[in-house]
Structure 1
Amino acid sequence: MLEIKDLYKKQDYILLKNVNLNVAKGESVSIECSDEISKLLINLIVGRELPERGQINIDGKNNVDYAKKHFNNIGIVLKDDGLYERLTVKQYLKSYSQIIMKNTNYLEVMMKMSLMDIGDVSIKKLNQYQRRRVSFAREYLKQPKFLILQEPILNMDKESIRIILENIQELCDNGCTVLSTSISFKDIMLLSKDCYILDEYGIKKAQNEPDILEEDAKNVEEEMPVYKIEKIPAKIDERILLFDPIEIDYVESEQGVSNLSIRGEKFPCGLSLTELESRLIHLGFFRCHRSYLVNLQRIREVVTWTRNSFSLSLNDKVNSSIPLSKSRVTELKEIFKI
């Protein structure tokens, strides 16, 4: 559905280069990038900006031509979306459904987005979570073939995250292609299984750590865990700190660097996530995701967003939420005997 090939664009201090991306029909991908890069990328995709080199195709057609002829097939929800403040939620969505002349029932969409109870509330009185759901509902009315989301779940409450993730999944099941961007690495992990990092050096897969292979698991000796004393090193400026494993809430691998999360602060560690796993597995740590290692004692709740999307709520200082791979759910349940 979306094909980006050898894209290059320089605008002021913002640089996009070596961008190659293919997203098939019905797939969802998410990209971690800055606000500035996100805005430029979106403008390039919908034809508001032209690349200096490379090409962008949507559904096999040049993106500019596609946007001109089939703009109603493209949905866009921006971080700072403009809404008609004086209208109520119901008035706004009803008016929009009449403008786009699609067969989608706006009341059904309001129910999907949990907006019925605030249908008669003016938009200017809505909070951030509600406004984001209204924006999403507006684009859902189009039943788009291609949907672009900028910061769809950043700083959102738990219920709004659940609603948005469920409806992204439903749109994908119906053949819609979804592209999400966010400044949050954790958010992109939650938004889709195919995650990328985009910066001035280009685009790359976010998951750098490989999943554990079945044959590797078979080679693990079946014996009782032996408690070992370990100190985990981290470096801050010229200081090397040694942490007790019990202090670590979780470990996050981002762009090849393992960061220890301790009481809401991040400390870079020179060891890879795989090396840390081998040191910490007998001390109560679990590889919940290819990019995350979690202290089992910190897990407060296993959250099911959709049939393919899970996360762990932690009881650390900042009540963190980290991804849980679908392939690891059964193993985690066995550990907790649930």
Structure 2
Amino acid sequence: MLKIESLYKKQKNNIINDLSINLKKGSSISIECSNEMSDLLVDLVLGKQLQMKGEIYLEDIKNLEYVKNGSTNIGIIPREDAFYERSTVEEYLKFFNSILCSKVDYRDIMIKFELLDIANVKIKKLNYSQRRMVSFARERLKQPKLLIFQEPILNMDREGTKIIAENIEELRSNGTAVLITSVLFKDTLMLGEKAYRLNDEGLLQLDNNIGQLNKDGGKIEEKKPTYEIEKIAAKLDERILLFDPKEIDYIESEQGISNLFIRGDKFPCNLSLTNLEERLKYFGFFRCHRSYLVNLQKVREVITWTRNSYSLSLDDKVKSSIPLAKGRLEELRAILKL
């Protein structure tokens, strides 16, 4: 559906360098990137900006030509959406249903997003999660062949996150190609069949289950030395802090740095996640995802978003939610005797 070949574009401080993507019908990818990089990528796909090098195709047609004639086949949900604030939810969706000549019953779509109870509420009175639901419901009326979604679950409540994830999965199962961008590492990993990181150095694929992949698709191997320890060291400014393992809620590895999360605060650690996994395995820590170690004593709930998307809700200070890779679910069940 969306094919990008050797794309290059420089805009101010942002560079998309030699980007290639092949997003097929019924598949989804999520990309971690800055807001500026996301906006640039979306503008390029939609032909609002022209690339310096490379090609972009939609259904094997060059994007500029496709957008002229097939824009209704593309659903777009920006991170900040514009609405008719004085319309009620039902008036808004009924209006778009009419101008799109949609074959879908807009009330059926409202049901999918749990909007019937607020059908007569004016949009200006909706909270953030409800507004995101309305945006997604509007784009579902198109029955798009390609959905571009910026920040699907950023700052969403739990129920909203589940609804968004289920609707993305349903669209994908019906043949829609889904392109997701997010500034948050965790959100990138939770949504999309494949996850990537996009920065000035290019596009790096992330393996959701085992290890980070290099640009050639090979796994980056790490050795596993064994230690007998009672403290984990982290650095804060010029100080070295020593934490008891039981103090640590979870550990996140992002761009080669392991961060200890303790009572809502983040502390960088010099050890790799694989190293920490080996050192902490006797303290009740579990590798729930290739980028996360979690203290199982802190896990309050295992959440199923879709059949392929899971997360762990923690009983820590900030009620954190971290990804659980599908391939680790059975091992976790065995450990917890579920």
User: TM-score, normalised to structure 1's length?
Assistant: 0.92
Separation in 1 of the partners of 2:23 and 2:277? 32
Separation in 1 of the partners of 2:153 and 2:123? 19
How many matched pairs? 324
Q: Which residue of 1 aligns with 2:64?
A: 64
Q: Which residue of 2 aligns with 1:82?
A: 82
Amino acid at match of 2:35: D
Q: Which residue of 2 aligns with 1:132?
A: 132
Amino acid at match of 1:319: K
Contact 1:313 1:321 in 2 (8 A): yes
Separation in 1 of the partners of 2:52 and 2:62? 15
Q: Which residue of 1 aligns with 2:298?
A: 298
Shift of 1:193: 3.5
Q: Which residue of 1 aligns with 2:224?
A: none
Secondary structure of the 2:83 match is: coil
Q: Which residue of 2 aligns with 1:240?
A: 240
Separation in 1 of the partners of 2:56 and 2:36? 19
Shift of 1:32: 1.0
Identity %: 57
Shift of 1:134: 0.2
Separation in 1 of the partners of 2:188 and 2:287? 18
Shift of 1:259: 1.2
Q: Which residue of 1 aligns with 2:98?
A: 98
Is residue 185 of structure 1 aligned with residue 185 of structure 2? yes
Amino acid at match of 1:264: G
Separation in 2 of the partners of 1:248 and 1:18? 40
Q: Which residue of 2 aligns with 1:109?
A: 109
Shift of 1:320: 0.5
Shift of 1:229: 3.6
1:24-57 deviations in Å (ceiling 9; x for gaps): 2111111111111111110101111110111111
Q: Which residue of 2 aligns with 1:249?
A: 249
Secondary structure of the 1:189 match is: helix
Separation in 2 of the partners of 1:229 and 1:250? 17
Contact 1:56 1:62 in 2 (8 A): yes
Contact 2:195 2:208 in 1 (8 A): no
Separation in 2 of the partners of 1:87 and 1:311? 36
Separation in 2 of the partners of 1:128 and 1:199? 28
Aligned pairs for 1:96-175 (under 5 A) are: 96-175=96-175
1:80-136 deviations in Å (ceiling 9; x for gaps): 111111111111111101111120110000000100001111111111111100000
Separation in 2 of the partners of 1:18 and 1:272? 29
Which runs of no fewer than 5 residues in structure 2 stay unpaired?
A: 213-226
Amino acid at match of 2:265: E
Contact 1:88 1:120 in 2 (8 A): yes
Aligned pairs for 1:22-33 (under 5 A) are: 22-33=22-33
Secondary structure of the 2:99 match is: helix
Shift of 1:230: 2.7
Pair 1:209–1:122, CA change in 2 (3 A): closer
Separation in 2 of the partners of 1:119 and 1:208? 38
User: TM-score, normalised to structure 2's length?
Assistant: 0.92
